[in-house]
Amino acid sequence: MSAHSRRLACLPSLGWVSVALICALGLTYAGSRVDELSSERERFRRAREALRAGDLQAYHALAPGLENYALYPYLRYHYLRPRLARAAPHEVRAFLKAYSETPVAAPLRTAWLRTLALRGDWPNYLAFYAAQEDAVLRCHSATARLRKGPDNAVLEEIKQLWLSAAPRPTECDPAFAALSKSALWTEDLIWRRIRLAMAAGETRLAASLGERLSPAERRWVTFWITSDNDPAKALSSGDFKPDHPIGREVIAHAIARLARSDAEQAYAAWRRFAPRFKAGDPLIGQVERSLGLAAADQRLPQAFAWLYSIDPSLVDAQVQRAQLRLAIAAGAWPDLARWTEREAVGDMNPLRWRYWRARGLESTGHAPAARVLFQELAAERDYYGFTAADRLGGAYRFGHRPTRLSKAEDARIRSWPGMVRARELWLAGYLREARSEWTYTVNHLPDPAVPAAAALAHEWGWHDRVIFALGKVKAYDDLEFRFPTPYASWLSESATRSNIEPAILYSIMRAESAFFDQARSAAGAVGLMQVLPSTGRLVAKDLGMPLAADVKLYDPKTNIALGSRYLRQMLARFNGNLAMAAAAYNAGPGNVERWRPQGGCQNAEFWVETIPYTETRRYVRNTLFYTALYEWRMGKRVKPITERLAAVPPRSGPATMQITCAAANKGN
């Protein structure tokens, strides 16, 4: 057995963690402190397992001698955490002082504060309290401070806690009771929270708050909730008499609510109620903005006029995105050119905004001005930079700049306490805690040190952490780090079997999981290519490789095989149209069928921009952009993005209308 094999032999089972990555790590640190720490690591693991099993005798036999080991704070945490009910303040104080700069300090403090609250030990609670996000702990702190006597600053803090759109926990009731007896408690304050609750759709909270108002005011809360549930019925009733300021708020809310499903009906209601609103009332602008956005989403002919009528001060990124989608869908180039005269605002992507300004100018007889914009955009490494280069017939600018570390920088990051702990946790088999430790450490590093941490994560194969770290400090130019090519043999095998370009598979994987093989989405999709278990079982059956268990989807080789096959099914369904297949992979083929145009083929670039789901629009653009990047990374010919944008056939025709749809992309 080789020395390297002996190092692996002492490792615990690591689930689906790639042994190849562990090998790489072991080789990197061969002859270094990894070997020196192997006995301590094993002893730590045994001590921790003893704690888990409740074997304190074994723990007390193993723990001595580990005091200077990097993971000793974790051992102490797992010993102390379940014993806090019997712990003395000095024990906890000593722990927090010794390990204040580790990720286990905050959770222990939180648990200790909960313990002290249960004990009713408010002096110690305040002594140990530090700023918290948790509402329960904040309320306990405020209540404890009020026990010392009236305090206006504390009451103001409680007021801010109370002004929440969501219900607060019952532990806050004593603090809120004190607030309700203070001079800060007014009907105006109650209305402020009711407005927050209604804006968030928390109608039960709003109803509860309404009980604190006078009967005359309470009826408006009841009517507001009724208007939220059935705005059309409420707006056609006579319950808005007499005119009242709150009644006008309810009218505005009901019209905005109705507009989401029927902007024309909402507009008719607005025509009836508008005379009640005085000039300059901010509610007028809010209603007109809601109507314009809804009309644009519903592609109504009135949408252009209504978007133009929005007060310029209310034109935010959401309005600008609606303007783009509407003008592009309708081919309304003069409107697009006019709307894009303004700068992008808020979180509107400025490159997207400038690109479509150039398209608007180009289509309205201002080719020289458009060309200047395209030339500026073509210098950017971005989807819009690449499509601008396509308009000019130029090459893509990748601008790769590798991360360069000095020996001193490399040595410094490897010896950084948090990085040592992360590495040791990983080698001990605690991957989740290892990644948490690494992320905690990066979040506390000075920005200039973060690329070195990314380089270390790249070496370990933690590609999603590399992407996170470089994004954190806006270091976007190392394309080897940001667009890695792991799992090459398995991906090549699946690419051949599914007849899909490897660059496309890498692109999907990068967009789906950033190469974290343990990724799990809120919808339950798992693994590198984010395969839903239900989809995975069907595809596995189609491949003749039934899944023994859903957990097998975390296995990189299995996940790549199933994800690739499913993508091939989507490509086949949409006749090789990558934009449509990527949209289907992200949002489901049923949605893509509904998004196909009516009555004729649609330019694919326009179709991508008008996909109703923001996430899917971004996903499709990223898939096309990442595919070009991966072609470059793999030394292949980079196919222009616009060559991959096959026109989208209409709903009334088959997805195979490739020949008749080809003209839809020409000249655009």
Place of tokens 């024309």: 264
Place of tokens 């708020």: 249
Give the chain's length: 668
Could you tell me if 80 and 87 are in contact, meaning their C-beta atoms sit under 8 angstroms apart?
yes
SS3 37: coil
Closest CA to 629 of 491, 513, 482, 472: 482
Please, what is the angle between helix 19-28 and helix 417-428, to 10°? 130
Q: Sign of the C-alpha dihedral, residues 373, 374, 380, 382?
A: positive
Measured between alpha carbons, how far is residue 279 from residues 230, 283, 285 in Å? 28, 10, 10
Place of tokens 């490494």: 381
H, E, C per residue of 430-452: CHHHHHHHHHHHHHCCCHHHHHH
Type of residue numbered 504: I
- Our measurement of the distance from residue 78's CA atom to the centroid of its chain's CA atoms, rounded to an integer in Å, reads 31
Q: Can you tell me the distance from the alpha carbon of 61 to that of 13, in angstroms, rounded to the nearest whole number? A: 24
Q: What is the DSSP-derived secondary structure letter of residue 387?
A: H
Could you write out the DSSP letters of every residue in 617-666?
HHHHHHHHHHHHHHHHHTT-----HHHH-PPBPPTTS-TT-HHHHGGGGT
Measured between alpha carbons, how far is residue 78 from residues 47, 54, 103, 440, 573 in Å? 10, 11, 13, 18, 52
Q: Which residue among 40, 157, 380, 512 is the active-site one?
A: 512
- Spatial neighbors of 334 by CB under 8 A, at least 6 apart, are 360, 364
Measured between alpha carbons, how far is residue 63 from residues 56, 60, 241 in Å? 10, 5, 75
Q: If phi over 0 gives left and psi between -120 and 50 gives alpha, with beta otherwise, what is residue 441?
A: alpha
Please confirm, yes or no, whether 512 is among the known catalytic residues. yes
Could you write out the DSSP letters of every residue in 248-275?
HHHHHHHHHHHHTT-HHHHHHHHHHHGG
Could you write out the DSSP letters of every residue in 523-584?
T--BTTTTB-HHHHHHHHHHHT---S-GGGGGSHHHHHHHHHHHHHHHHHHTTT-HHHHHHH
Q: Can you tell me the distance from the alpha carbon of 440 to that of 453, in angstroms, rounded to the nearest whole number? A: 12
- Our measurement of the distance from residue 285's CA atom to the centroid of its chain's CA atoms, rounded to an integer in Å, reads 31
Place of tokens 């809010």: 286
- Spatial neighbors of 470 by CB under 8 A, at least 6 apart, are 450, 451, 454, 476, 478, 481, 482
Could you tell me if 324 and 336 are in contact, meaning their C-beta atoms sit under 8 angstroms apart?
yes
Long-range residue pairs from 460-464, CB within 8 A, at least 24 positions apart, any chain: 460/21, 460/24, 460/25, 460/423, 460/426, 461/18, 461/20, 461/21, 461/24, 461/25, 461/486, 462/435, 462/438, 462/516, 463/514, 463/515, 463/516, 464/513, 464/514, 464/515, 464/516, 464/519
- The residues carrying an active-site annotation are 512
